[in-house]
Structure 1
Amino acid sequence: METPFVTSIIQKVAEEIGAVVLVDPECIFVGLITFKNGNTSFFRNTRFSINSSGSTAIAKDKSVSSFFLNNFGYKVTEGKTFFSEELCEEIGNIRNIDQGFYYAKELGFPVIVKPINLSQGIFVTKVHNKQEYYQIAKKILQKVSGFIVERFYNGNDYRIVVLDDEVVSAYQRIPLFITGDGQSNVLKLMQQKQESFIKNGRKEIIDFDDYRIKKNLRRRKLNFSSVIPKNNIVYLLDNANLSTGGEAVDFTESIHPDFQKLAVSITKDMQLRLAGVDILASDITSPIVDYTILEVNGAPSLSHYASFGEVQTKRVENLYLKILKILENENNREKH
């Protein structure tokens, strides 16, 4: 069984500081780090005890975290949460799937519909009409008990990764796309993209059955058999998560101090030490004119970011080395 990226990096940096990593052979993204001074700390994939369980849980619930961020005075997306019929009955709330549609109409299509507590861009969809709305809302409610309908905002999608007072990395995330060559059809171009991902260590991350890809192709009057003209770009997904095939443009060296301060402040106010702050903005290399917080992630995954080059891999290794040094020097007290 191949060792997961995060586990392999933890093993590598642990060796540098004389720590020992015990990994569960049946669940190889879970482990226990024992430091030279006797302190120990568990990790589970990208979750470390550096963040408290309460703060991480708040960050994971997109609706709740948005409420608190708005209360702290940050600019967040305008949206509301809606629930399954079962949960509506249980909590005495009428915000069901139909109410969600009326709210979407009130905001004005297109809107973004997304689950309240799933990660990696799963089910995040830009919907343009009633049919698309009900299609995605029903899909989400088969998996979780609620979803968010929010206003669609234009802008570039950035992730800023923070550890305490430092911005570790900052990059723009571009949604999954293909570029035409004038000869290959959509399916072939997608296969070529998948092959390039595998070559760069990103594994098979394009889901060819993703209904969102087919929806976006239909909107452009295309299908898997369509030949794309040379140099034409077709965006297959609306969400820019790297885990669903997005690509990164690194701005770590050029992010403006305004955005650095913003990301650090958000992280502190959410009572996190490690966070991925996702924002929409026109340009993070210039002073802040406007921005919108998409969400805050208490366990940011950086494996796809690391696959973009040696510089990025080194940044991720340095981040995990700093995390381990922090955990080593903390009191041997489990935060959960």
Structure 2
Amino acid sequence: MKEDHSIGLPQLPNHIVTAARKTKLCAFSVALEGWRRGLTLKWYTKDSEHFQNMTVFGVNPPGRLFSLSSKKRTHYFFRTRGDKVTNEAVEIGSDKELTKIWLDKAGIPVPKGKGFAEGASEEEILDYSIGIGFPLVLKPTNGSLGNGVITNIKNENELKKSLKYVRNILGYGEVIIERYVAGKEYRVYVIEDKTIAAYNRVPANIIGDGVHTVEELITLKNEQRKKNPRLFSCLIEIDIEILEEIEKEGYSLESIPKKGDIIYLRKKTNVSSGGDPIDVTDELPNSIKEIAIKAINAIPGLYHGGVDIIVNEHLPPEEGAVVIELNPTAQIGGILYPIQGKARDIPAAIIDYYFPETKDFATKKSRVYFDLNAALEPLQNRSAIEVELPKAPIGTLYAKKFIVQGNVTRYKYHRWLKSNAVTLNLHGFIKNTVDNEIEIVVGGTEKENLNTFKDLITNNQNLAKVSKVLEESWKEYIKVGFEITEMFNMNKLKTVESAIKKLERDLKSTEKELYRVQKENKKIQDSRSWKYGMSLKKMARLVRN
């Protein structure tokens, strides 16, 4: 197994993004960058009047819609998409067939194919598909996150099966049929005429080590992914698709692949379904980057977004590269936390574009952040439809950790310290560590206020008897606000979590066993002895009648 080489941006360490999952991570990273630069940050629900004229998809729970304001202007954002991107551009980008028409008109290479309306018959789709030739790709016109995309369909039977799955089971009536293009798939993020980042999306895979089974290798790969803030919620789930893929490769879950053997578990490359994001920003040829830039500029009103490109590296770029999709509201977590390579600062590039006057305040070294869950709580419980955050501390951050010993664990003493910290514009926390000892971390932009707070620690004999104060420099991150953390028993919580995990493991085991049993039953039913036996039973029944 390869080691986990994920490298995040220095201003986005893992622990400050734990509350930001999937598309929340995209919004949080952009919002945090703007807030750290001194811009006013507000979060909204979808009911806010500010977003009535902005195209927003889905239910969108709080954490995706926000605004950033300077003294001169305000810009509104849906995840990574700002209000400079027009609704017309969003509508084109969200319709794969319409996207192809615009790109083709601009001379951008796209796969040969055609869209079919919900009312199109299976025969009509099959006739067209046979005409352009296999292998093919089937995908929903308005799908997202790779849902319903089936690649490398090799024959008519596979296509019929795929159509039934996508149109009848998943419910995507409108579909696109395209010629399958073999090659590596890349997501390229572009702002106007500049490529900001690019990463290769590799389908979910494992690498044999000659020791572990396929199932164990998947578990080990998931342990890697759990360490990555983008991938920990995109684990490789063993489902029917994966079982079929490993069977095609000649393996089972109990097989032990040879050392170095790569086994691809899915055909589609989406990170959300277990794919690996690998940074290639510096290695991707300029000719491919130019295609991505031209694709963004081909859509009126689309000033920034993601471009998905497949490149056949055995052919020249002008022949072997095709654009398969545009993403006006692109996810950027894969390049913020690639499994290999270097993280790329798309959030800073977006804020530079919308607020160029703040470039000098770019926050690569900022050590302050806000609690996303706390910020969104009034929106979650529906007590508000918008929330404005306090301004970020701007300037050099001075911070200390004090270990205070003595009779110092009274809650009233902690509340008194918090009140003084807030008055002095200091941020941080107090927590109990062991009996007769507390830990205090405080930070702010005024060094004198930090010294004043230090003197106050020993200055209230009515609430605490301090015997000793140890002082250390604090170079870690500080959450704005001031918290008091009391000790509590985690045993019950751990028991519940363990029970849930066991139920999940049992469910997966049952699903795998069901798949095996179904396969065995099908083999039996297809066998001659089964058919002969069934014929005898039918004959006997007729004789009795």
Identify the TM-score tier after normalising by the shorter chain.
0.7 to 0.9
- Which residue is equivalent to 1:331? none
Query: Over the residues paired in the alignment, what is the CA RMSD in angstroms?
Result: 2.8
- Report whether the alignment pairs 1:304 with 2:329: no
**Higher relative contact order, chain-length normalized (CA < 8 Å, sep 6+):** 1
CA distance in structure 1 between the aligned counterparts of 2:216 and 2:38, rounded to whole angstroms: 48
- Which residue is equivalent to 1:29? 63
CA distance in structure 1 between the aligned counterparts of 2:76 and 2:353, rounded to whole angstroms: 12
Shift, 1:200, TM fit: 1.6
TM-score normalised per structure 2: 0.54
- Equivalent residue runs for 1:234-245 within 5 Å: 234-245=263-274
CA distance in structure 1 between the aligned counterparts of 2:131 and 2:186, rounded to whole angstroms: 28
- Which residue is equivalent to 2:148? 123
- Which residue is equivalent to 1:139? 165
Contact 2:201/2:278 (<8 A) preserved: yes
Shift, 1:67, TM fit: 1.6
Tell me: CA distance 1:300–1:227, structure 2 relative to 1, closer, same or farther (3 Å): same
1:173 aligned to which of 189, 198, 201: 201
Residue-by-residue CA offset, 1:169-221 (whole Å, 9 max, x unaligned): 12222211111122322222222222211112222313525443233223223
Shift, 1:326, TM fit: 6.1
CA distance in structure 2 between the aligned counterparts of 1:229 and 1:21, rounded to whole angstroms: 53
For 1:242, give the aligned amino acid: V
Contact 1:242/1:305 (<8 A) preserved: no
Contact 2:222/2:236 (<8 A) preserved: no
- Equivalent residue runs for 1:237-276 within 5 Å: 237-271=266-300, 272-276=302-306
CA distance in structure 2 between the aligned counterparts of 1:73 and 1:7, rounded to whole angstroms: 33
CA distance in structure 2 between the aligned counterparts of 1:327 and 1:152, rounded to whole angstroms: 45
- Report whether the alignment pairs 1:216 with 2:245: yes
- Which residue is equivalent to 2:40? 20
Contact 2:102/2:298 (<8 A) preserved: no
- Which residue is equivalent to 1:105? 130
* SS class of match (2:345): helix
Shift, 1:129, TM fit: 3.4
CA distance in structure 1 between the aligned counterparts of 2:292 and 2:278, rounded to whole angstroms: 18
CA distance in structure 2 between the aligned counterparts of 1:151 and 1:291, rounded to whole angstroms: 13
Contact 1:83/1:96 (<8 A) preserved: no
- Which residue is equivalent to 2:110? 76
Shift, 1:105, TM fit: 3.0
CA distance in structure 1 between the aligned counterparts of 2:323 and 2:68, rounded to whole angstroms: 37
Number of residue pairs aligned between Structure 1 and Structure 2: 318
Residue-by-residue CA offset, 1:132-191 (whole Å, 9 max, x unaligned): 323332232233221111111122212221101111012222211111122322222222
For 1:263, give the aligned amino acid: A
| 206-215 or 160-169, which deviates more | 206-215
- Which residue is equivalent to 1:317? 347
CA distance in structure 2 between the aligned counterparts of 1:263 and 1:224, rounded to whole angstroms: 40
Gaps of 5+ in 1: 89-94, 329-336
1:154 aligned to which of 168, 173, 182: 182
Tell me: CA distance 1:27–1:239, structure 2 relative to 1, closer, same or farther (3 Å): same
For 1:291, give the aligned amino acid: A
CA distance in structure 1 between the aligned counterparts of 2:154 and 2:291, rounded to whole angstroms: 32
- Report whether the alignment pairs 1:225 with 2:225: no
CA distance in structure 2 between the aligned counterparts of 1:316 and 1:107, rounded to whole angstroms: 39
Tell me: CA distance 1:210–1:24, structure 2 relative to 1, closer, same or farther (3 Å): farther
CA distance in structure 2 between the aligned counterparts of 1:212 and 1:129, rounded to whole angstroms: 18
CA distance in structure 1 between the aligned counterparts of 2:91 and 2:238, rounded to whole angstroms: 30
Contact 2:304/2:328 (<8 A) preserved: yes
Structure with greater Cα Rg: 2
1:5 aligned to which of 17, 25, 31: 25
Gaps of 5+ in 2: 1-17, 46-59, 359-545
TM-score normalised per structure 1: 0.84
Tell me: CA distance 1:107–1:221, structure 2 relative to 1, closer, same or farther (3 Å): farther
CA distance in structure 1 between the aligned counterparts of 2:143 and 2:335, rounded to whole angstroms: 20
Tell me: CA distance 1:42–1:223, structure 2 relative to 1, closer, same or farther (3 Å): farther
* SS class of match (1:22): strand
CA distance in structure 1 between the aligned counterparts of 2:324 and 2:344, rounded to whole angstroms: 27
- Which residue is equivalent to 2:78? 44
Contact 1:160/1:171 (<8 A) preserved: yes
CA distance in structure 2 between the aligned counterparts of 1:188 and 1:24, rounded to whole angstroms: 43
- Which residue is equivalent to 2:464? none
Contact 1:19/1:34 (<8 A) preserved: yes
For 1:2, give the aligned amino acid: A
Contact 2:313/2:320 (<8 A) preserved: no
* SS class of match (1:253): coil
Tell me: CA distance 1:314–1:287, structure 2 relative to 1, closer, same or farther (3 Å): closer
